[in-house]
Structure 1
């Protein structure tokens, strides 16, 4: 009988972890040096930010019913409403186009060549930011205004929603699909009765989440003349009207937070169901850019 050893096992070497941390630090230092940024100005940033915050707060803290501040709030709300409309139209365009495309990109539905081509197209769309789509394609065709912004958001939404929706389709429970197929249903009937009812709640949640993202993206597109709250904000920055800039930023923050909260509750309701408990294995997937 062999003797039972009482020696404690040797702990694993910490050398790989240490080398990895040192390599990460080295890459960070190289990046800091390569960008050649005036890092010394970071020391002045708190004071400069405080000055701008004081200037912007003059408009926010002023009487909103008195002229001209009443006009500031009304104008900011009108432009924010335009941004919401742009985001909604862009989301609906992305949802309508990505829904059928998602089935072509799902490995459990379409043949491999179709999946490969469809996913490559979705990857190309996701690789191009909405900003580039608006400047390089939409504005030269449709000119400045909310139409170019909404279409740019719509095209950008197709790439993300198509990928996420295809993954939701691939993750459905195969048992209902097999049940519909065993009753003699054709391919379209199997998809409509076996796949869509399972994947649709999660796909709807992705659409709502994309709407939240499009609100923020729409504000950025407006800085280039694509309509919405960003267009007036760009003009205010050029004129350095800080009190009105403060009012506009507060409207953006408040409206965006309210929409996010409402959308989050609706998404949770859609996925969790009436009882508020998620079905096992159906947690919402993370958003991918």
Structure 2
């Protein structure tokens, strides 16, 4: 029997075992969350019933109370994105294996640890330190953004063309000059696109942080649901979704223009 045939059989056997393991994990997870066909069949009718509580939406309340809270959420997301961008750019350069192989492993470990903490857990930690309000939310989003943007930025730097770097260093330029004139011009457009994408994600995250007292529209939504003012909660949801969609479209168009150059 040829070696090629044995390798083919090993791949098929490995794929079979992988499929079996995935299927077993899927059914075990379904059992753990209490899934049943009966509950799934009742879900559409229950969703329609609950949605009926939210109709009609009290849009007057939305404009008076919700828009300032949405503006605060956008400000939280913007400040958090700026914090992430400022700190992640140098960390992304240091985390590139092709530029700083000795430092890259430590930087990526720090990035991974930072990404392991969801924004809401960071907000729960910061609120007792800095007090209730949007400042704690901005810090939470900023730290979370640093981890993600560092990872994405380091991957961009690792994939760049090293010809210009070698040309600068061959001409007697230092590593700092190579970063300034050979690396940054190549990677900044894509890194800025990642910053804008992270801003979109931060808008969604900031809308939830108000639940733990970190400012934004989440606190308004929590209060309306707590007192069963479903018409007002509907206004919060409608306006928040509309604003997020508009920001996504604008940011997406800017990112496409940046990447196309």
Distance (Å, rounded) in 1 between the aligned partners of 2:93 and 2:18: 41
Q: Check 1:165–1:15 CA distance in 2 against 1; reply closer, same or farther (3 A cut).
A: closer
Contact 2:81 2:142 in 1 (8 A): yes
1:268 and 2:231 matched: no
Question: Unaligned 5+ residue runs, structure 2?
Answer: none
* Aligned CA distance change for structure 1 residues 24 and 89 (closer, same or farther; 3 Å): same
Deviation at 1:103?
1.4
CA contact (8 A) 2:54 2:230 kept: yes
Structure-2 change in CA distance of 1:52 and 1:94 (3 Å): same
Match of 1:70 among 40, 60, 64: 60
Structure 1 residues 135-284: aligned runs within 5 Å: 135-136=124-125, 138-273=126-261
Match of 1:120 among 88, 109, 121: 109
Distance in 1 between residues matched to 2:152 and 2:98, nearest whole Å = 14
Cα RMSD (Å) of the superposition? 2.0
Structure 1: 5+ residue stretches without partners: 1-8, 61-68, 274-289
CA distance in 1, matches of 2:13, 2:170: 57
- Report the TM-score, using the length of structure 2 for normalisation: 0.90
Q: 1:131 aligns with which of 104, 115, 120?
A: 120
The residue aligned with 2:90 is: 100
Equivalent residues of 1:73, 1:248 under 8 A apart = no
Paired residue for 1:47?
Answer: 45
Structure 1 residue 24 displacement after superposition: 2.5
| Aligned residue number for residue 54 of structure 2 | 56
- The DSSP-based 3-state class of the residue aligned with 1:59 is coil
How many angstroms does 1:104 deviate by? 1.3
Q: TM-score, normalised by structure 1?
A: 0.82
Q: Is the 8 A contact 2:61 2:235 kept in 1?
A: no
Q: Which has the greater radius of gyration? A: 1
Matched with 1:25 is: 23
Residues 28 and 243 of structure 1: is their aligned pair in 2 closer, same or farther, counting only changes over 3 Å?
same
Q: Give the stretch that moved more between structures: 93-102 or 70-79.
A: 70-79
CA contact (8 A) 1:52 1:242 kept: no
Distance 1:90 1:146 in 2: 10
C-alpha deviations, 1:134-166, integer Å up to 9, x for none?
Answer: 112x11201221111011000000000011111
Deviations 1:58-111 (A, max 9, x none): 116xxxxxxxx4233231111111100000000000101111111111112224
1: CA distance between counterparts of 2:196 and 2:20? Answer: 42
